[in-house]
């Protein structure tokens, strides 16, 4: 699906026609998959978790889907992206996720970025930026200390992915 190294992925993205909520809609393939990651994030609202969702796609198939369950499991590593990576590795029986794309609603944190680099994920697409802490974009910029540099696309469904987190914290107050 993606072109040769360095080509403009954005322009090359296929469009898909999806049947969603009873309406046929045409959307960019990244938006299509981000919508599914967003639906994962929505599951967090039922269990009072910070709403972040992630999926992993390989050969146009979703091989893993997860949402943040840190509070529910009381597990510091239970972020959506890390859970999705663990599921994908388990499914593929390989720690290498070379040909996979990770879609996540929020820019991956320090820990999840480490898991992304370690698993050699080819491409990361995220919704909204993590402004508070050092996260994927800044980590990947450090070419000298990272041995794998995934291609990054940001700002897909940015407004929705940002709003769901803002609303969550607003309701907490």
Q: Is the Cα dihedral 103, 108, 112, 113 positive or negative?
A: positive
Strands (E), the chain: 15-20, 23-28, 53-58, 61-67, 100-106, 123-128, 151-154
Question: How many residues contact Zn ion, by CB under 5 A?
Answer: 3
Dist CA 63 CA 84 (whole Å): 9
Which residues, in sequence order, are bridge partners of residue 101?
A: 57, 123
Q: Which is nearer to Zn ion, 29 or 115 (CB)?
A: 115
Question: What's the rounded Cα separation, in Å, for the pair 105 and 52?
Answer: 6
For Zn ion, give the closer residue by CB, 29 or 116.
116
Q: CB of 133: closest distance to Zn ion in angstroms?
A: 10
Q: In this complex, which beta carbon is closest to Zn ion, that of residue 30 or of residue 81?
A: 81
Assess contact for 105 and 117: CB atoms under 8 A: no
Tokens of 130: 């993590």
User: By CB under 5 A, what part of segment 96-135 binds Zn ion?
Assistant: 109, 112
Catalytic residue among 81, 87, 107, 160: 81
- Spatial distance between the Cα atoms of 49 and 37, rounded to a whole number of angstroms: 15
DSSP annotation string for 3-26: -STTS-HHHHPPEEEEEETTEEEE
Active site residue 158: no
Site string for Zn ion, 55-94 (x = CB under 5 A): ------------------------x---------------
Nearest to Zn ion of 29, 125 (CB atom)? 125
Residues that are catalytic: 81
User: Binding residues for Zn ion, per CB under 5 A?
Assistant: 79, 109, 112
């Amino acid at each position: 699906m993606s072109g040769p190294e360095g080509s403009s992925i954005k322009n090359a993205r296929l469009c898909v026609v999806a049947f969603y909520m009873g309406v046929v809609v045409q959307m960019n393939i990244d938006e299509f998959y981000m919508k599914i990651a967003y639906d994962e994030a929505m599951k967090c609202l039922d269990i009072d978790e910070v709403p972040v969702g992630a999926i992993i796609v390989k050969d146009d198939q979703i091989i893993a889907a997860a949402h943040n369950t840190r509070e529910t499991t009381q597990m510091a590593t239970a972020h959506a992206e890390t859970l999705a990576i663990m599921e994908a590795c388990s499914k593929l029986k390989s720690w290498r996720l070379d040909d996979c794309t990770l879609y996540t609603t929020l820019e991956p944190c320090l820990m999840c970025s480490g898991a992304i680099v370690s698993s050699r994920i080819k491409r990361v697409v995220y919704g909204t930026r993590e402004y508070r802490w050092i996260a994927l974009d800044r980590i990947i910029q450090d070419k000298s200390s990272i041995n794998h540099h995934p291609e990054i696309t940001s700002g897909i469904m940015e407004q929705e992915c940002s709003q769901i987190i803002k609303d969550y914290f607003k309701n907490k107050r």
